[in-house]
Amino acid sequence: MNPVSRRFEIHDFRKANSVQDIESELRKIIAEGSEVLVVKDPDSPYQPSARVDSWIKVKPEYMKEFGEELDVLIIGGYYGGGKRGGRHSSFLCGLRLNGDPPLMKFHSFLKVGGGFTASDYAKIRHITDPFWNDWDPNNPPTEYIELADDKQTLERPDQWIIPDKSLVIQVKAAQVAPTDQFKTKFTLRFPPFSVCGKIKTGKLLYLMKRSTSSSEMLNSNTKNLRCRLSTEDRLKESRRNMR
């Protein structure tokens, strides 16, 4: 069997007998600028369009030491369906706008929709329940929250909350990505199965009082992510030039 350029490639493989073997190979693909390692059962054939336990993609951000963590504030809530019907199942999070004195105004930054336990949802509900307001499209709360577009429709939540009545959560992301969906013009790209989960009520006052702007906060908290994003862009560009 022979490879066909840009159509069919035969990749190198290694036998692994332990988690340490997989971790070692994962570090190699990170150094090479690759994005994913495939771990498979040697006796398992490939099944197109199927998800099976015998073929698993392992990405760097799935490991605890890779990826970046960032504190953000919940500023909006989205109702869920099914067993979460009538309750918030995901949240709009924001970064604070700079001002002197510091403003209680946040720009939309990301939407968090997973990684919470039942206990996390209960804790968020217990702290914030009395303070939610229905979002009025005709009178959006731009004094406190700004969405990406002038009409305040992009990623519009079902409800919003005054920032000093809300709480901080910690998110872990793979990288920063440009976007037109959020006011900050950047958002975080998450792994598909772990998004968030650490509730940090003690940091609320600190976040509300700090004088950094949303862009400065993004720069300082995601420096490594930006480096990684620019590195990936350069790698992609060099691959295109080689073709």
Residue 170: closest CA among 59, 104, 91? 91
Of the listed ranges 61-70, 80-89, 191-200, the one predicted with least confidence? 191-200
CA gap 168, 164 in Å, rounded: 10
DSSP-based three-state secondary structure for 101: coil
pLDDT tens per residue across span 5-19: 878 888 778 888 887
pLDDT tens per residue across span 93-134: 998 887 666 678 899 999 987 667 788 888 889 889 999 999
Q: pTM score, two decimals?
A: 0.62
Average pLDDT of span 133-159: 96
| pLDDT above 50 for 207 | no
Residue extents of the structural domains in the chain: 1-65, 68-218
Which tokens go with 95?
A: 């970064």
Average pLDDT of span 162-183: 84
Q: Are 232 and 180 in contact (CB under 8 A)?
A: no
Specify the pLDDT at position 102: 64
pLDDT tens per residue across span 150-167: 999 999 999 999 988 898
The residue assigned the tokens 């332990």 is 18
Residue 192: closest CA among 92, 40, 51, 28? 51
Tell me which long-range contacts 220-229 makes (C-beta under 8 A, separation of at least 24): 221/68, 221/70, 221/71, 222/68, 222/70, 222/173, 222/176, 222/188, 224/68, 225/68, 225/173, 225/174, 225/175, 225/176, 225/188, 226/176, 228/175, 229/175, 229/176, 229/177
The CATH class, in words, for 68-218 is: mainly beta
Q: Could you check whether the bond before residue 101 is cis, i.e. omega within 30 degrees of 0?
A: yes
CA gap 75, 160 in Å, rounded: 6
Residue 224: closest CA among 77, 110, 70, 100? 70
